[in-house]
Chain A
Amino acid sequence: MNMETMDQILARQAFFADFPPEFAALLAGCASNCHFKAGEYIIHEGDPADRFYLVRQGKVALEIAAPARAPVVITTLGEGQIVGMSWLVAPYRSEFDARAMEPVRAIAIDAACLRGKCEVDHHLGYEMMKRFLPVIVKRLHATRLQVLDVYGHN
């Protein structure tokens, strides 16, 4: 039986479509498979943002916890989507909680490892930015529409 290598798994992800082959091994060297049970927290707010995740299966809720009230779900993320953006921005601390709403299978990327490689090779850093920036912009835009509360009664 042939085991799929991490390079091959990453190459199949839409997020890494057209990723330059010369960087594939560098990226794969920071990546590993991981699983989370339903209800398990993947990221805790305030923790070091030393990993981000590419969801392969399952659904994840990004939440904000507040004292004396139930957590609020900001958004949900599913297959092919990235969980964890804080690894890109100093001081590299997670901004939200991320909870597995159902069993989740993901690729975990060691962010400290990847940041180091991006610092050494800015072409790799630029390739990562080209992938992350559109996701950040899309989420900002979607959040603005959510905040508009267009279905409100006013």
Chain B
Amino acid sequence: MQAARDPFVPDIYRVEQVRRELADAVTLELAPQSGTRPDFRPGQFNMLYAFGVGEVAISMSASAREKPGFVHTVRNAGAVSGALARLEPGATLGVRGPFGTGWPVAEAEGRDVVIVAGGLGLAPLRPAIQEVLARRECYGRVTILVGCRSPYDILYRHDLEQWRQRLDVTVEVTVDHAGTDWHGDVGFVTTLIPRSPFDPDKAVALVCGPEVMMRFAGGALQKAGMPASDIYLSMERNMKCAIGLCGHCQFGPAFICKDGPVLPLERIAGLLAVQEI
């Protein structure tokens, strides 16, 4: 009998490729130093360990079917993420995971799928989009709504262009600030929701971005007729153990690492506007 894996012991991964996505964000393609990468679901996360600096929770940003290793998009926002964002091909790092719940991709089969992403929130959603598009015939209408700060902050521009070229997906991108050289929409991402082609009675919405954006996107989806039980948010908190022991990521009665990060809006709606949580 094989011994159970110790969730506190990281595996060593090698950086295979680094792609600069934005001025402060890179995508790392990781391969296991030995053995194989464990399977995972879209929406789950790993704890990435920059040796000598620390650990940080980062969601997978490509589906398991896309690459043999893990793909993570990291924004340089602090000491650990900064160290990760500076890694170069050939460097090694520790990986614990996968952890947490995933997006309800299988449960959404037969229904319309509405993806609402804000800023770097597109990264945890990309695996779900890739899974849905890989089995496109299993879903109803698919709508991808993306909001970001400016035209210079559009993540995965190449993917968005490819998805937009398909005839079976609606892709809308809006920015908060732009000059006249931008030919797309200007306005907050919630303004895209009322004009999007989905049936609120048979749709599932997957939402990821800054918390305030998710709160208002959830509200706009509900105004469009969707019940809170069909709207899923990916929450972010400071995670340490990643298995629900330490309590660092407690969010009301839930631990984001174990009960989340993907949670239905109906479970957390009352907590989103509570300043102290």
Interface residues of A (CB under 8 A from B): 59, 61, 63, 70-76, 78-80, 99, 101, 142, 145-146, 148-153
Contacts and interface: CB of A to CB of B under 8 A. Distances in A.
A78 B188 contact: no
Given A70-B180, A73-B180, A142 B190 contact: yes
Contacts, number: 69
Nearest to A79: B195
Contacts of B179: 70-73
Contact of B149 (A63, A74, A78, A149): A149
A25 to B, nearest CB: 29
A142 B118 contact: no
Interface size class of B (residues with CB under 8 A): 20 to 34
Given A71-B179, A150-B212, A151-B153, A61 B24 contact: no
Given A73-B186, A146-B187, 18 more contacts: A72-B179, A73-B178, A75-B186, A75-B191, A78-B185, A79-B195, A99-B180, A142-B187, A145-B190, A145-B212, A145-B216, A150-B119, A150-B209, A150-B212, A151-B118, A151-B148, A153-B24, A153-B77
B182 interface: yes
B213 interface: yes
A91 B110 CA distance: 54
B177 interface: yes
13 contacts: A61-B180, A72-B177, A73-B182, A76-B174, A76-B184, A78-B185, A142-B188, A142-B190, A145-B216, A151-B118, A151-B120, A151-B149, A153-B75
